[in-house]
Amino acid sequence: MSESVNSHPVIGITIGDINGIGPEIIIKAFSDSRILEMCTPVIFASSKAINFYRKIMGEGRFNYQTIRNFSKLGHKQVNLFNCWEEEVVITPGVMNENGGKYAARALAVAVQCLKDKQIEGLVTAPINKNNIQSGDFHFTGHTPYLKETFGAKEVVMLMTAQNMRVAVLSEHVPIKDAAQHVTQENILSKIRTLNESLIKDFGIEKPKIAVLGLNPHAGDGGLVGQEEQQIIIPAVNQLMNSGILCFGPYSADGFFARSYYLKFDAVLAMYHDQGLIPFKSLSIGHGVNYSAGLPIVRTSPDHGTAFDIAGQKIADESSFRQAVFTCIDIIRQRYEYEEYTKNPLHKTVLASE
Protein backbone atom coordinates (compact mmCIF):
# COMPACT_ATOMS: atom_id res chain seq x y z
CA MET A 1 0.00 0.00 0.00
CA SER A 2 1.43 3.35 -1.03
CA GLU A 3 2.13 6.18 1.39
CA SER A 4 -0.45 8.30 -0.46
CA VAL A 5 -3.23 6.21 1.05
CA ASN A 6 -2.72 7.96 4.37
CA SER A 7 -2.48 11.52 3.09
CA HIS A 8 -3.34 11.91 -0.56
CA PRO A 9 -5.10 8.93 -2.19
CA VAL A 10 -5.44 8.93 -5.96
CA ILE A 11 -9.17 8.90 -6.72
CA GLY A 12 -10.57 8.03 -10.15
CA ILE A 13 -13.69 9.92 -11.29
CA THR A 14 -15.78 8.60 -14.19
CA ILE A 15 -17.75 11.19 -16.16
CA GLY A 16 -20.94 9.11 -16.41
CA ASP A 17 -23.44 9.94 -19.14
CA ILE A 18 -22.01 12.90 -21.06
CA ASN A 19 -25.53 14.27 -21.61
CA GLY A 20 -26.48 14.11 -17.93
CA ILE A 21 -25.41 16.19 -14.94
CA GLY A 22 -22.22 14.20 -14.30
CA PRO A 23 -19.82 16.65 -16.01
CA GLU A 24 -21.43 19.62 -14.25
CA ILE A 25 -21.24 18.21 -10.72
CA ILE A 26 -17.64 17.11 -11.32
CA ILE A 27 -16.63 20.60 -12.44
CA LYS A 28 -18.48 22.24 -9.54
CA ALA A 29 -17.00 19.92 -6.93
CA PHE A 30 -13.40 20.33 -8.11
CA SER A 31 -13.68 24.07 -8.63
CA ASP A 32 -13.03 24.28 -4.90
CA SER A 33 -9.29 23.72 -4.66
CA ARG A 34 -9.50 22.74 -0.98
CA ILE A 35 -10.53 19.24 -2.02
CA LEU A 36 -7.04 18.83 -3.54
CA GLU A 37 -5.62 18.91 -0.01
CA MET A 38 -7.32 15.54 0.61
CA CYS A 39 -6.84 13.59 -2.63
CA THR A 40 -5.38 13.56 -6.11
CA PRO A 41 -8.34 13.34 -8.53
CA VAL A 42 -8.13 11.73 -11.97
CA ILE A 43 -11.16 12.36 -14.18
CA PHE A 44 -11.78 9.66 -16.79
CA ALA A 45 -13.42 11.48 -19.67
CA SER A 46 -12.45 13.59 -22.67
CA SER A 47 -10.99 17.07 -22.44
CA LYS A 48 -13.41 18.11 -25.18
CA ALA A 49 -16.41 16.97 -23.14
CA ILE A 50 -15.17 18.68 -19.99
CA ASN A 51 -14.37 21.89 -21.87
CA PHE A 52 -17.84 21.85 -23.43
CA TYR A 53 -19.45 22.00 -19.99
CA ARG A 54 -16.87 24.34 -18.50
CA LYS A 55 -17.73 26.85 -21.24
CA ILE A 56 -21.49 26.47 -20.61
CA MET A 57 -20.98 26.99 -16.90
CA GLY A 58 -18.48 29.83 -17.22
CA GLU A 59 -16.50 28.24 -14.41
CA GLY A 60 -13.11 29.92 -14.36
CA ARG A 61 -11.94 28.36 -11.10
CA PHE A 62 -11.88 24.83 -12.54
CA ASN A 63 -8.48 23.92 -14.00
CA TYR A 64 -6.89 20.62 -14.91
CA GLN A 65 -3.96 19.03 -16.68
CA THR A 66 -4.41 16.31 -19.30
CA ILE A 67 -2.42 13.09 -18.87
CA ARG A 68 -1.99 10.05 -21.10
CA ASN A 69 -0.17 7.95 -18.54
CA PHE A 70 0.32 8.03 -14.80
CA SER A 71 4.00 8.97 -14.95
CA LYS A 72 2.76 12.53 -15.55
CA LEU A 73 0.27 12.50 -12.67
CA GLY A 74 0.14 15.87 -10.96
CA HIS A 75 -0.51 15.96 -7.25
CA LYS A 76 -2.37 18.92 -5.76
CA GLN A 77 -4.14 19.46 -9.07
CA VAL A 78 -6.96 17.93 -11.08
CA ASN A 79 -5.83 15.41 -13.70
CA LEU A 80 -7.86 14.38 -16.73
CA PHE A 81 -7.16 11.02 -18.37
CA ASN A 82 -8.33 11.21 -21.99
CA CYS A 83 -10.44 8.11 -22.73
CA TRP A 84 -11.28 9.11 -26.30
CA GLU A 85 -10.02 11.63 -28.86
CA GLU A 86 -12.77 11.65 -31.47
CA GLU A 87 -15.28 14.47 -31.82
CA VAL A 88 -18.52 13.55 -30.05
CA VAL A 89 -21.76 15.49 -30.31
CA ILE A 90 -22.91 16.41 -26.80
CA THR A 91 -26.61 17.14 -26.30
CA PRO A 92 -27.34 17.98 -22.65
CA GLY A 93 -30.62 16.52 -21.43
CA VAL A 94 -30.98 14.02 -24.27
CA MET A 95 -30.77 10.27 -23.67
CA ASN A 96 -29.02 8.78 -26.69
CA GLU A 97 -26.47 6.20 -27.78
CA ASN A 98 -23.50 8.55 -27.34
CA GLY A 99 -24.26 9.07 -23.68
CA GLY A 100 -24.15 5.36 -22.94
CA LYS A 101 -21.24 4.53 -25.21
CA TYR A 102 -18.80 7.00 -23.70
CA ALA A 103 -19.99 6.43 -20.13
CA ALA A 104 -19.12 2.76 -20.61
CA ARG A 105 -15.75 3.59 -22.15
CA ALA A 106 -14.73 5.89 -19.29
CA LEU A 107 -15.79 3.26 -16.77
CA ALA A 108 -13.85 0.49 -18.52
CA VAL A 109 -10.65 2.56 -18.61
CA ALA A 110 -11.00 3.55 -14.95
CA VAL A 111 -11.60 -0.06 -13.89
CA GLN A 112 -8.44 -1.16 -15.70
CA CYS A 113 -6.51 1.51 -13.84
CA LEU A 114 -7.97 0.18 -10.59
CA LYS A 115 -6.79 -3.30 -11.50
CA ASP A 116 -3.35 -1.92 -12.31
CA LYS A 117 -3.33 -0.09 -8.93
CA GLN A 118 -2.80 3.27 -10.61
CA ILE A 119 -5.77 4.67 -8.71
CA GLU A 120 -6.82 3.73 -5.19
CA GLY A 121 -10.55 4.36 -5.31
CA LEU A 122 -13.36 5.13 -7.74
CA VAL A 123 -16.19 7.66 -7.70
CA THR A 124 -18.71 7.16 -10.50
CA ALA A 125 -20.93 9.90 -11.89
CA PRO A 126 -24.43 8.72 -12.90
CA ILE A 127 -25.12 6.51 -15.91
CA ASN A 128 -28.42 5.71 -17.60
CA LYS A 129 -29.24 2.02 -17.32
CA ASN A 130 -30.94 1.90 -20.73
CA ASN A 131 -28.58 3.60 -23.17
CA ILE A 132 -25.44 2.04 -21.67
CA GLN A 133 -26.55 -1.47 -22.62
CA SER A 134 -24.32 -3.12 -25.23
CA GLY A 135 -22.48 -6.33 -25.95
CA ASP A 136 -19.83 -5.29 -23.45
CA PHE A 137 -22.18 -3.88 -20.81
CA HIS A 138 -25.30 -5.87 -19.95
CA PHE A 139 -25.84 -4.93 -16.32
CA THR A 140 -28.51 -3.04 -14.37
CA GLY A 141 -25.95 -0.64 -12.95
CA HIS A 142 -22.41 -0.10 -11.67
CA THR A 143 -22.72 -2.53 -8.74
CA PRO A 144 -23.39 -5.77 -10.68
CA TYR A 145 -20.83 -4.73 -13.30
CA LEU A 146 -18.13 -4.26 -10.67
CA LYS A 147 -19.16 -7.45 -8.88
CA GLU A 148 -18.53 -9.51 -12.00
CA THR A 149 -15.44 -7.57 -13.07
CA PHE A 150 -13.69 -8.06 -9.73
CA GLY A 151 -15.06 -11.55 -9.07
CA ALA A 152 -16.73 -10.64 -5.77
CA LYS A 153 -18.91 -13.34 -4.18
CA GLU A 154 -21.36 -10.81 -2.78
CA VAL A 155 -21.82 -7.06 -3.11
CA VAL A 156 -24.27 -4.96 -1.11
CA MET A 157 -25.69 -1.66 -2.30
CA LEU A 158 -25.22 0.45 0.83
CA MET A 159 -26.55 3.98 1.06
CA THR A 160 -24.66 5.96 3.65
CA ALA A 161 -24.98 9.39 5.23
CA GLN A 162 -23.84 10.95 8.48
CA ASN A 163 -26.85 9.74 10.43
CA MET A 164 -27.75 6.45 8.74
CA ARG A 165 -26.73 3.52 6.54
CA VAL A 166 -29.32 1.61 4.54
CA ALA A 167 -28.57 -1.55 2.52
CA VAL A 168 -30.97 -3.32 0.17
CA LEU A 169 -31.55 -7.03 -0.28
CA SER A 170 -32.51 -6.63 -3.94
CA GLU A 171 -31.49 -3.72 -6.12
CA HIS A 172 -32.93 -2.79 -9.50
CA VAL A 173 -35.60 -5.46 -9.94
CA PRO A 174 -39.32 -5.04 -10.72
CA ILE A 175 -41.44 -4.77 -7.58
CA LYS A 176 -43.42 -7.84 -8.65
CA ASP A 177 -40.19 -9.86 -8.41
CA ALA A 178 -38.85 -8.35 -5.18
CA ALA A 179 -40.43 -11.00 -2.91
CA GLN A 180 -38.63 -13.76 -4.83
CA HIS A 181 -35.31 -12.35 -3.59
CA VAL A 182 -36.39 -12.61 0.05
CA THR A 183 -34.73 -15.92 0.85
CA GLN A 184 -32.77 -17.06 3.88
CA GLU A 185 -29.70 -17.57 1.68
CA ASN A 186 -29.83 -13.98 0.38
CA ILE A 187 -30.41 -12.47 3.82
CA LEU A 188 -27.54 -14.45 5.36
CA SER A 189 -25.17 -13.52 2.54
CA LYS A 190 -26.06 -9.82 2.51
CA ILE A 191 -25.90 -9.41 6.29
CA ARG A 192 -22.55 -11.19 6.55
CA THR A 193 -21.09 -8.99 3.82
CA LEU A 194 -22.62 -5.88 5.37
CA ASN A 195 -21.31 -6.78 8.83
CA GLU A 196 -17.78 -7.30 7.49
CA SER A 197 -17.90 -3.99 5.62
CA LEU A 198 -19.04 -2.09 8.71
CA ILE A 199 -16.02 -3.47 10.57
CA LYS A 200 -13.37 -3.03 7.86
CA ASP A 201 -14.66 0.00 5.96
CA PHE A 202 -16.33 2.03 8.71
CA GLY A 203 -14.32 1.05 11.78
CA ILE A 204 -17.29 -0.27 13.80
CA GLU A 205 -16.05 -3.07 16.03
CA LYS A 206 -19.41 -4.75 16.83
CA PRO A 207 -22.00 -3.47 14.37
CA LYS A 208 -25.71 -3.53 15.22
CA ILE A 209 -27.82 -4.27 12.15
CA ALA A 210 -31.61 -3.92 11.85
CA VAL A 211 -33.62 -5.98 9.37
CA LEU A 212 -36.91 -4.72 7.96
CA GLY A 213 -39.91 -6.89 7.22
CA LEU A 214 -41.20 -7.41 3.71
CA ASN A 215 -44.91 -6.99 4.43
CA PRO A 216 -46.90 -4.18 6.06
CA HIS A 217 -46.46 -4.23 9.85
CA ALA A 218 -43.73 -6.87 9.37
CA GLY A 219 -46.43 -9.43 8.59
CA ASP A 220 -48.50 -8.90 11.76
CA GLY A 221 -47.50 -12.29 13.11
CA GLY A 222 -48.42 -14.05 9.88
CA LEU A 223 -51.74 -12.30 9.22
CA VAL A 224 -50.28 -10.17 6.41
CA GLY A 225 -47.86 -12.55 4.70
CA GLN A 226 -45.66 -15.42 5.84
CA GLU A 227 -42.19 -14.25 4.75
CA GLU A 228 -41.34 -12.82 8.16
CA GLN A 229 -42.24 -16.00 10.06
CA GLN A 230 -40.88 -18.49 7.56
CA ILE A 231 -37.81 -16.71 6.15
CA ILE A 232 -36.69 -13.50 7.85
CA ILE A 233 -36.96 -14.48 11.54
CA PRO A 234 -35.11 -17.80 11.08
CA ALA A 235 -32.35 -15.96 9.19
CA VAL A 236 -32.04 -13.32 11.91
CA ASN A 237 -31.88 -16.02 14.59
CA GLN A 238 -29.17 -17.90 12.69
CA LEU A 239 -27.10 -14.73 12.34
CA MET A 240 -27.50 -13.90 16.03
CA ASN A 241 -26.39 -17.42 16.96
CA SER A 242 -23.26 -16.94 14.83
CA GLY A 243 -22.30 -13.80 16.75
CA ILE A 244 -23.61 -11.09 14.41
CA LEU A 245 -25.73 -8.48 16.21
CA CYS A 246 -28.77 -8.63 13.95
CA PHE A 247 -32.30 -7.62 15.02
CA GLY A 248 -35.78 -7.64 13.49
CA PRO A 249 -37.81 -7.80 11.44
CA TYR A 250 -39.15 -4.30 11.99
CA SER A 251 -42.14 -2.67 10.34
CA ALA A 252 -40.57 -0.33 7.78
CA ASP A 253 -42.92 2.64 8.25
CA GLY A 254 -42.68 2.80 12.03
CA PHE A 255 -38.96 2.08 11.98
CA PHE A 256 -38.11 5.25 10.10
CA ALA A 257 -40.97 7.39 11.46
CA ARG A 258 -39.82 6.76 15.04
CA SER A 259 -36.13 7.28 14.19
CA TYR A 260 -35.19 3.74 15.21
CA TYR A 261 -32.50 3.84 12.52
CA LEU A 262 -30.46 6.06 14.86
CA LYS A 263 -30.05 3.12 17.24
CA PHE A 264 -28.37 0.91 14.62
CA ASP A 265 -25.19 1.03 12.56
CA ALA A 266 -27.01 -0.15 9.44
CA VAL A 267 -30.41 -1.27 8.19
CA LEU A 268 -31.19 -4.00 5.65
CA ALA A 269 -34.30 -3.22 3.58
CA MET A 270 -36.03 -5.99 1.66
CA TYR A 271 -36.23 -4.09 -1.64
CA HIS A 272 -35.00 -0.92 -3.33
CA ASP A 273 -37.72 1.66 -2.63
CA GLN A 274 -38.41 0.41 0.89
CA GLY A 275 -34.92 1.54 1.83
CA LEU A 276 -34.12 4.36 -0.57
CA ILE A 277 -37.27 6.45 -0.19
CA PRO A 278 -36.74 7.07 3.54
CA PHE A 279 -32.98 7.29 3.08
CA LYS A 280 -33.15 10.03 0.46
CA SER A 281 -35.86 11.84 2.42
CA LEU A 282 -33.77 11.88 5.61
CA SER A 283 -30.25 12.34 4.21
CA ILE A 284 -31.25 15.64 2.57
CA GLY A 285 -29.05 15.51 -0.51
CA HIS A 286 -25.91 14.30 1.24
CA GLY A 287 -26.33 10.57 0.70
CA VAL A 288 -23.73 8.36 -0.94
CA ASN A 289 -24.04 4.99 -2.65
CA TYR A 290 -21.27 2.59 -1.59
CA SER A 291 -20.65 -0.87 -3.06
CA ALA A 292 -19.83 -2.95 0.03
CA GLY A 293 -18.07 -6.27 -0.50
CA LEU A 294 -15.81 -5.31 -3.41
CA PRO A 295 -12.02 -5.65 -3.12
CA ILE A 296 -11.83 -2.02 -4.29
CA VAL A 297 -13.51 1.15 -2.98
CA ARG A 298 -16.28 2.57 -5.13
CA THR A 299 -18.77 5.31 -4.26
CA SER A 300 -21.24 7.43 -6.19
CA PRO A 301 -23.80 10.18 -5.55
CA ASP A 302 -27.27 8.98 -4.55
CA HIS A 303 -29.01 10.35 -7.67
CA GLY A 304 -29.25 9.67 -11.37
CA THR A 305 -28.42 11.48 -14.61
CA ALA A 306 -31.18 14.11 -14.14
CA PHE A 307 -31.57 14.75 -17.86
CA ASP A 308 -34.35 17.25 -17.08
CA ILE A 309 -31.85 19.77 -15.63
CA ALA A 310 -28.64 18.82 -17.49
CA GLY A 311 -26.77 21.75 -18.99
CA GLN A 312 -28.77 24.32 -17.01
CA LYS A 313 -26.08 25.08 -14.39
CA ILE A 314 -28.43 24.22 -11.51
CA ALA A 315 -27.34 20.68 -10.58
CA ASP A 316 -26.40 20.28 -6.89
CA GLU A 317 -22.95 18.75 -6.43
CA SER A 318 -23.35 18.07 -2.67
CA SER A 319 -23.92 14.31 -2.95
CA PHE A 320 -21.07 13.92 -5.44
CA ARG A 321 -18.68 15.86 -3.21
CA GLN A 322 -19.69 13.69 -0.27
CA ALA A 323 -19.08 10.59 -2.40
CA VAL A 324 -15.48 11.77 -2.90
CA PHE A 325 -15.04 12.34 0.84
CA THR A 326 -16.54 8.94 1.66
CA CYS A 327 -14.23 7.22 -0.84
CA ILE A 328 -11.22 8.87 0.82
CA ASP A 329 -12.44 7.94 4.31
CA ILE A 330 -13.00 4.28 3.44
CA ILE A 331 -9.60 3.96 1.75
CA ARG A 332 -7.95 5.30 4.89
CA GLN A 333 -10.09 3.11 7.16
CA ARG A 334 -9.19 -0.01 5.15
CA TYR A 335 -5.53 0.87 5.43
CA GLU A 336 -5.85 1.30 9.21
CA TYR A 337 -7.71 -1.99 9.49
CA GLU A 338 -5.03 -3.81 7.49
CA GLU A 339 -2.31 -2.31 9.66
CA TYR A 340 -4.19 -3.17 12.85
CA THR A 341 -4.81 -6.79 11.88
CA LYS A 342 -1.58 -7.47 9.99
CA ASN A 343 0.47 -8.54 12.99
CA PRO A 344 -1.94 -9.61 15.72
CA LEU A 345 -0.47 -10.57 19.05
CA HIS A 346 -0.26 -14.31 19.50
CA LYS A 347 -1.64 -15.82 22.62
CA THR A 348 1.00 -17.20 24.97
CA VAL A 349 0.18 -20.32 26.93
CA LEU A 350 1.86 -20.21 30.31
CA ALA A 351 3.31 -23.47 31.51
CA SER A 352 1.63 -24.69 34.68
CA GLU A 353 3.81 -24.77 37.74
CATH code of the domain made up of 154-292: 3.40.718.10
Residues in the chain, how many? 353
| Mean pLDDT within 171-183 | 92
| Mean pLDDT within 191-216 | 97
pLDDT of residue 224: 84
The model's confidence at residue 344, banded by pLDDT at 50, 70 and 90, is: low
pLDDT at 162 over 50: yes
| Mean pLDDT within 145-164 | 95
The model's confidence at residue 353, banded by pLDDT at 50, 70 and 90, is: very low
Q: pLDDT per residue over 70-88, tens digit each?
A: 998 998 899 999 999 999 9
Instruction: Decide which of 348 and 37 is more confident.
Output: 37
In the chain, CATH 3.40.718.10 covers 1-152+294-333, 154-292
pLDDT of residue 301: 96
Q: pLDDT per residue over 43-62, tens digit each?
A: 999 999 999 999 999 877 89
CA–CA dist 101, 157 (Å, integer):
24
- b/e per residue 164-182 (b: at least 16 CB within 10 A): bbbbbbbbeeeeeebbebb
pLDDT of residue 150: 96
Mean of all residue pLDDT scores within the chain? 93
> Domain spanning 1-152+294-333: which superfamily?
Isopropylmalate Dehydrogenase (3.40.718.10)
The full DSSP string for 49-105 is HHHHHHHHHT-SS---EEESSGGGPPTTS-EEEE---S-----TT---HHHHHHHHH
Q: pLDDT per residue over 84-140, tens digit each?
A: 999 999 999 999 999 999 999 999 999 999 999 999 999 999 999 999 999 889 998
pTM of the model: 0.91
The model's confidence at residue 351, banded by pLDDT at 50, 70 and 90, is: low
